[in-house]
Amino acid sequence: MPAAGPAEPVVADGEAVIELRGLCKWYPLRQRVLDTLLGRTPRYLRAVDGVSFGVRAGEVLGVAGESGCGKSTTGMTAIHLHAPTAGEILFDGRPVGDSAAELREFRRHAQIVFQNPYESLNPRFTVADSIREPLAIHFPRQHDRQERMLLQAMERAGLTPVDDYLDRFPHQLSGGQLQRIAIARAIAVQPRFLVADEPVSMLDVSIRAGILNLFRHFSSELQMAILYISHDLSTMRHVCSRVAIMYLGRIVEMGTATQVLDAPLHPYARALMAAAPVMTNRSRERIELKGAVPNPADMPAGCRFHPRCPRATDVCRTIEPALEATDAERVVACHLYRSGSGPGTAPLAAAAAHHQGEGNAIA
Ligand code: SF4
């Protein structure tokens, strides 16, 4: 069993509904015969490798990064759809146990909306059947309560008039309507923590805003803690109060949405922002990322981003930077922002000033 990666600073731990501490999800790789004969230690694909954060009630925390960075695995592990390899999940400050009864109780409070509404609903179930299914599991033999919660969830998801949808099947509905049904199904049990995994990426641009507004409403009016996963930074700006950037299984920068989206510090976050489309003709930084995300089974030594980083130095190739606070609300894992002194480090304030001096603020 692999040991957990170093626990990173936890932001918002005080009142967090959900808190991840050093969460890891590693998948064992098939051992080659030669490796077995030579007694080499087993290799793992480290999809999530020491992730720590908390999400408060009424907050939307965005998690961004390229495909293969571990965003979705983090979301699914956070609600225990995948058992963590190491680390802890705390709900209301208490560790989530792994007995069947504890997990059932946890899942009543922690739900997920997947990316593809065409695959997340049973084609043989009517809308009412799909939404009623989790209610029957969590509130058995309480039929009146189930019906009340079903209707309330549909109204909250904007499926009105409710009677127009109850007896319809998935093939009779549009992509946007299907995603609203998937959302109604997830919120029917009135969870306090909701993972939204790329919930609008398969929908027409014209209907995305309506779906995103639902998540804003759930956080502000229902005080849900929401983990919003997306590779689309423009939608993050619309819904998130804080944003975390992930690279190869770790968080490399996390702060308020304004900090991370308007003035990212980590070179990877800056490159993502430079590539994001903007509705303005103001000039902005151009950063070209070399290559693609490496296979997590072949993790680079030192800083995981160094093979692609335009600012890599010798220390980056040997020492992995830890997340460090740059102010009360932001943490960054990069040697450019280390607060200590030593080989390859720069005092935090000087490094930040140097970075800003390059005109790195994204227009
Ligand atoms: S630690 Fe070095 S390689 Fe990693 S992001 Fe910072 S400058 Fe780039």
pLDDT tens-digit series, residues 54-110: 999 999 999 999 998 999 999 999 999 999 999 999 999 999 988 999 999 999 999
The answer to whether position 343 is within a domain reads yes
pLDDT reported for residue 340: 57
Residue 316's domain is classified under what CATH number?
A: 3.40.50.300
The answer to whether position 297 is within a domain reads yes
Please write the tens of the pLDDT for every residue from 269-316: 999 998 876 655 555 666 667 777 777 778 899 999 999 999 999 999
Mutate to test the pocket of ligand 1, among 245, 248, 334, 337 (most ligand atoms within 8 A of CB): 334
pLDDT reported for residue 262: 93
C-alpha of residue 256 to centroid of ligand 1, in Å: 21
pLDDT reported for residue 278: 64
The answer to whether position 281 is within a domain reads yes
The answer to whether position 362 is within a domain reads no
Provide the residue range defining the domain that includes 278.
16-357
Task: List the single range of 205-209, 216-220, 327-331 with lowest mean pLDDT.
Answer: 205-209
- With beta carbons less than 8 A apart as the criterion, state whether 61 and 226 touch: yes
Ligand 1 atom, smallest distance to 311 CA = 7
The backbone torsions φ and ψ at residue 51, rounded to the nearest 5 degrees and listed phi first, read -100, 130
Angle between the 175-187 and 127-138 helix axes, to the nearest 10 degrees? 20
The answer to whether position 1 is within a domain reads no
The backbone torsions φ and ψ at residue 106, rounded to the nearest 5 degrees and listed phi first, read -65, -40
pLDDT reported for residue 178: 96
The answer to whether position 363 is within a domain reads no
What band does 39 get if pLDDT is binned at 50, 70 and 90?
Answer: confident
3-class state of residue 104 by DSSP: helix
Structure tokens belonging to residue 205: 């641009």
Binding-site residues, ligand 1, Cβ < 6 A: 266-267, 303, 305-306, 309, 311-312, 316, 321, 334-336
Amino acid at 161: P
C-alpha of residue 32 to centroid of ligand 1, in Å: 33
C-alpha of residue 352 to centroid of ligand 1, in Å: 13
∠168-217-67 over CA atoms, to 5°?
Answer: 80
Residue 126 has pLDDT above 90, yes or no: yes
C-alpha of residue 23 to centroid of ligand 1, in Å: 23
Q: Where are the beta strands (DSSP E) in the chain?
A: 16-28, 44-56, 60-64, 86-91, 94-95, 110-113, 193-197, 225-229, 242-247, 250-256, 324-325, 331-332
Q: How many CB atoms lie within 10 A of CB 37?
A: 9
Please give the mean pLDDT across all residues of the chain.
87
The answer to whether position 5 is within a domain reads no
Please write the tens of the pLDDT for every residue from 225-258: 999 999 989 899 999 999 999 999 999 999 999 9
Ligand 1 atom, smallest distance to 321 CA = 1
Residue located nearest, by CA, to atom 1 of ligand 1: 334
Please write the tens of the pLDDT for every residue from 132-166: 999 999 999 999 999 999 999 999 999 999 999 99
CA 91 to CA 79: how far, in whole Å? 10
Mutate to test the pocket of ligand 1, among 335, 339, 345, 355 (most ligand atoms within 8 A of CB): 335
C-alpha of residue 30 to centroid of ligand 1, in Å: 31
pLDDT reported for residue 350: 42
State the residue for tokens 């980083």.
Answer: 309
Residue 360 has pLDDT above 90, yes or no: no
CA 328 to CA 135: how far, in whole Å? 41
pLDDT reported for residue 43: 85
Ligand 1 atom, smallest distance to 313 CA = 2
Residue 338 has pLDDT above 70, yes or no: yes
Residue 8 or 134, more confident: 134
CA 349 to CA 355: how far, in whole Å? 10
Angle between the 205-221 and 143-156 helix axes, to the nearest 10 degrees? 120
- With beta carbons less than 8 A apart as the criterion, state whether 193 and 152 touch: no
Mutate to test the pocket of ligand 1, among 250, 272, 316 (most ligand atoms within 8 A of CB): 316
Measured torsion, CA atoms of residues 260, 266, 268, 274, in degrees rounded to the nearest 10: 50
The answer to whether position 352 is within a domain reads yes
Number of domains in the chain: 1
